[in-house]
Amino acid sequence: MKTQNNLTDRTRLDYWPFIIGPLVMVIVYILYGFNEISASDKGMLENIHLILIATALLLFTAVAVKQKNIFSYVMTALCFSFFCRELHFVGTSTGVYVAIAIIAALAISKRKQIISIIEQGKIKPWLYATGFTYLLSQLIARRIFRHILPNEHDVHVILEEMVEFAAHAMMIITAIITFRTKKSSEHMPHVPQNNPQPEANLNKK
């Protein structure tokens, strides 16, 4: 019973990345209070976003080439959609939502295969936490917290950019974990099984 409780505690600790988004929000408020950050930093952050999501795209493309499974294909397509969105050319806003809807439909139809993959190693907690952080950034962008957060009118722009920055960085970590988890499982030592000879063969002797 004690061992089971220890395993449960460790499993819960695996989900610590969920605090990254809210923690970034706290840091933004602290920096804003000291006039170290403002909405004027948006352009610089958007350029960094492009680099981060391009890195995540390259990493998941490498994972897809190596692993050739539905999860890696879905994540590569998702990163490509986010990359196009960061380019901010005409049509990307609507196109990204359409692409995400199609990717989500594909993921749902292949959910059993995807679940079996993300259950390996630390992929699931990082994947879910990354999704949560992206969702948080979009809620901030739509000003869902305007009646909750202090000085939301002044900080919501930089708040969204910084939380999205964290989400892109987390996507990179998710890609690295996915690659390393699969790689390590492929190199696990093979334990041969002693298969008994069929009874028919023994009778012949």
* 32 within a domain of the structure (yes/no): no
Residue labelled with tokens 């969105």 = 85
* 8 within a domain of the structure (yes/no): no
64-93 pLDDT per residue, tens: 999 999 999 999 999 999 999 888 776 677
Our count of domains for the chain comes to 1
Cα(7)–Cα(11) distance, rounded to whole angstroms?
6
* 161 within a domain of the structure (yes/no): yes
Per-residue pLDDT averaged across 113-130, rounded?
Answer: 95
Whole-Å CA distances, 14 to 19, 112, 154, 167: 11, 22, 34, 17
- 114 pLDDT tier (thresholds 50, 70, 90): very high
pLDDT of res. 34: 92
* 108 within a domain of the structure (yes/no): yes
- Computed over every residue of the chain, the mean pLDDT equals 87
Domain that holds residue 82: 50-181
The residue count of the chain comes to 205
pLDDT at 126 over 80: yes
AA letter at 71: F
Q: Which of 55, 102, 94, 62 is nearest to 78 (CA)?
A: 102
The pTM score is 0.83
pLDDT of res. 4: 54
pLDDT of res. 12: 80
- 203 pLDDT tier (thresholds 50, 70, 90): low
Per-residue pLDDT averaged across 168-190, rounded?
Answer: 77
43-54 pLDDT per residue, tens: 999 999 999 999
pLDDT of res. 197: 52
Is the distance from CB of 159 to CB of 153 less than 8 angstroms? no
* 195 within a domain of the structure (yes/no): no
* 190 within a domain of the structure (yes/no): no
Taking residue 149's Cβ as centre, other Cβ atoms within 10 Å add up to: 16
Whole-Å CA distances, 52 to 45, 67, 117, 120, 128: 10, 22, 24, 25, 18
Q: What does the longest C-alpha to C-alpha distance in the chain come to?
A: 88
Contacts of 38 (CB under 8 A, 6+ apart): 32, 158
Cα(13)–Cα(70) distance, rounded to whole angstroms?
28
Is the distance from CB of 155 to CB of 32 less than 8 angstroms? yes
More confident residue, 195 or 89: 89
* 111 within a domain of the structure (yes/no): yes
* 167 within a domain of the structure (yes/no): yes
For 78-198, list the strands marked E by DSSP.
none
Answer positive or negative: Cα dihedral of 112, 181, 124, 67: negative
- 187 pLDDT tier (thresholds 50, 70, 90): very low
Cα(52)–Cα(156) distance, rounded to whole angstroms?
21
